[in-house]
Amino acid sequence: MEVVLLIISVLLIAIVLLQSNKATDSAGIITGGNQELFQNMKERGFELFISRLTLVLGIAFFVISLILFLI
């Protein structure tokens, strides 16, 4: 079970690093340079897949960690 947790954690780190950098987009609030900040932009294609995969891996990481803690 620990091996599965290790694999999921490595995959989770890799998937988070693959996501687009949204922190630099929100930095435009302070400088006022980003005009597209509050537009309704939906994730599509590969971005949507990466986002959902991150959610699934995060939930799996939490559940397996909780199971290992209770055992």
Mean pLDDT by groups of 10 residues along the chain of 71 residues: 94 89 57 58 80 94 95 88
Token representation of residue 64 = 């397996």
Predicted TM-score of the model (pTM): 0.70
Q: What is the pLDDT of residue 47?
A: 84
Q: What is the pLDDT of residue 12?
A: 95
State the Cα–Cα distance between residues 10 and 21, nearest whole angstrom: 19
Q: What is the pLDDT of residue 45?
A: 83
Q: How far apart are the first and last CA of the chain?
A: 11
